[in-house]
Amino acid sequence: MNILFVSSSYYPHINGVYYFVCRIGPLLQEKGHKVAVIAPSESVHFSLKKIDNLDVYGIPSYPIIINPTIRLPIPFFLKSRLRRIIENFKPDIIHVQDHFPLSKAVVELNKKMKIPIIASNHFMPENFTFLMRNEKLKQRFENYLWKSFSKVFNQVRIVTTPTETAARLIRSHLRVDAIAISSGISLDIFNPSEDTVEIKKKYFIPGKPILLYVGRLDPEKHMEEILQAVAIAIRKVDFCFVIVGKGTSKMGLEKLTQQLEITNNVIFTGFVPNGDLPYFYKMGRCFIIASIAELLSLGALQAMASGLPVIAVNAGALSELVRNKVNGYLFEEGDIPSISRHIEDIITKDEVYQEMSEKSIEYASQHDIYKTLESFEKLYEEEIKKS
């Protein structure tokens, strides 16, 4: 099969969509399929690059002012450019990763080309409305976002999304089927055989129990709640909170650690290369996440694959990954005392940690990337046969 992915965001902008395509694309190629990606370029010029051994066609684009990491395709000659790429690549199936302008243009163009096209949804309105305080304005904007979502995705054959929670969220907005297929995780990567001594030296990690967060540092991640809970727990048990990632909130969070007087117990690593990342999970005692807008959470899955209990907010799809008091703890948004107690429990109680660790590994195995690969390969074949 010739499989064409379309995404409104791709490397060097690291997010869940990129991780999904850059992992499943090469695996599809290993099985003999031909894979390419259409995404915005990093400039106003067209580009063709080899990224993760995939041909990535970069459509001329421009950054939006409020967030330069988001780029929109230049509308002039957009469809003619897309048509040339599609005619040259000759896809048997097109797989769009969102409903934003680039994917929307491909879907509209495909009305005449009649190529089987499916979509995956990684979107929640909260990803865009989390800073809005006016509830009426927020609701209107969310309604607009859902309307845009429905207009594009109702023109494809079928919509996939990473969890059943996510599928339930979108079904009322669709006339086509929505099914849950995990984005998958490479389980073997998150069990490195080497020890963590060198990584601890490299990032100045002390020899204490490690509470870990890996992900973007943006407002919807609610990292302030975790830091406040850490400030309470640290009075009772000695540990280090390691925060891996970058984002718009990083400076504000660093300032908050100073205000809470916990700078000696919190480490911001910034961006960590993929080769180093598994060792952070290996040295961790527990993973924590307070983000209210997660359709899967790759960080939580990676932690589970590494045998870490997970403390997570009871929101989005996190309750699908974390079963309260089984492989971690769930807490209600804003319940800082509960977060603090859960941190203390996992760090101080070896039997709790061990039981939850084993369950995390068991549950993570359900999201093996090779199961995901098999599911999408089967779905592609079914949709092509229907043509």
Phi, psi of 121 (to 5 degrees): -110, 125
For residues 131-157, give the mean pLDDT. Answer: 84
Strand partners, 160: 120, 179
* Cα distance from N-terminal residue to C-terminal residue, the chain: 14
Q: Sorting pLDDT into bands at 50, 70 and 90, what band is 131?
A: low
pLDDT score for 130: 56
CA separation (Å) from 104 to 14, 234, 380?
Answer: 21, 49, 20
Say which CATH number the domain at 312 has.
3.40.50.2000
Clarify whether residues 172 and 207 are in a common domain. Answer: no
CA distance 284 to 302: 12
Clarify whether residues 172 and 241 are in a common domain. Answer: no
pLDDT score for 101: 94
Clarify whether residues 193 and 109 are in a common domain. Answer: no
CA distance 256 to 254: 5
Clarify whether residues 164 and 89 are in a common domain. Answer: yes
Q: Taking a C-beta distance cutoff of 8 angstroms, is the pair 118, 4 a contact?
A: no
What's the DSSP call for residue 368? Answer: B
Does the pLDDT of residue 339 top 70, yes or no?
Answer: yes
Using one digit for the tens of pLDDT, what is the confidence trace for 104-117? Answer: 999 999 999 999 99
Strand partners, 179: 160
Clarify whether residues 213 and 133 are in a common domain. Answer: no
For residues 31-38, give the mean pLDDT. Answer: 98
Does the pLDDT of residue 136 top 80, yes or no?
Answer: no
Q: Sorting pLDDT into bands at 50, 70 and 90, what band is 125?
A: low
Adjacency order of strands within the sheet including 266-270: 266-270, 240-244, 210-214, 286-289, 310-313, 328-331
Clarify whether residues 277 and 133 are in a common domain. Answer: no
Does the pLDDT of residue 220 top 90, yes or no?
Answer: no
Task: Kindly report the number of other CB atoms within 10 A of residue 12's CB atom.
Answer: 8
CA distance 316 to 185: 19
Does the pLDDT of residue 68 top 80, yes or no?
Answer: no
Q: Sorting pLDDT into bands at 50, 70 and 90, what band is 16?
A: confident
Q: How far is CA 149 from the centre of its chain?
A: 19
Clarify whether residues 248 and 362 are in a common domain. Answer: yes
Give the mean pLDDT of the chain: 93
pLDDT score for 132: 60
Clarify whether residues 378 and 302 are in a common domain. Answer: no
Percent of the chain with pLDDT over 90: 80
Helix, strand or coil, per DSSP, at residue 47: strand
CA distance 304 to 214: 12
Clarify whether residues 228 and 242 are in a common domain. Answer: yes
H/E/C letters for each residue in 267-310? EEEECCCCCCHHHHHHHCCEEEECCCCCCCCHHHHHHHHCCCCE
For residues 180-203, give the mean pLDDT. Answer: 90
Range of the domain at 302: 187-366
Clarify whether residues 343 and 359 are in a common domain. Answer: yes
pLDDT score for 126: 66
Tokens of 232: 């309470």
Cβ burial of 75 (10 Å; 0-12, 13-18, 19+) is exposed
For residues 286-306, give the mean pLDDT. Answer: 93
pLDDT score for 140: 85
Clarify whether residues 62 and 150 are in a common domain. Answer: yes
Q: Taking a C-beta distance cutoff of 8 angstroms, is the pair 107, 86 a contact?
A: no
Using one digit for the tens of pLDDT, what is the confidence trace for 222-278? Answer: 999 999 999 999 999 999 999 999 988 999 999 999 999 999 999 999 999 989 999
Does the pLDDT of residue 133 top 70, yes or no?
Answer: no
Q: How many domains does the structure of the chain reveal?
A: 2
Using one digit for the tens of pLDDT, what is the confidence trace for 161-188? Answer: 999 999 999 999 999 999 999 999 988 8
CA distance 311 to 268: 19
CA separation (Å) from 353 to 28, 70, 119, 181, 256?
Answer: 37, 40, 39, 29, 29
Clarify whether residues 21 and 87 are in a common domain. Answer: yes
pLDDT score for 45: 95
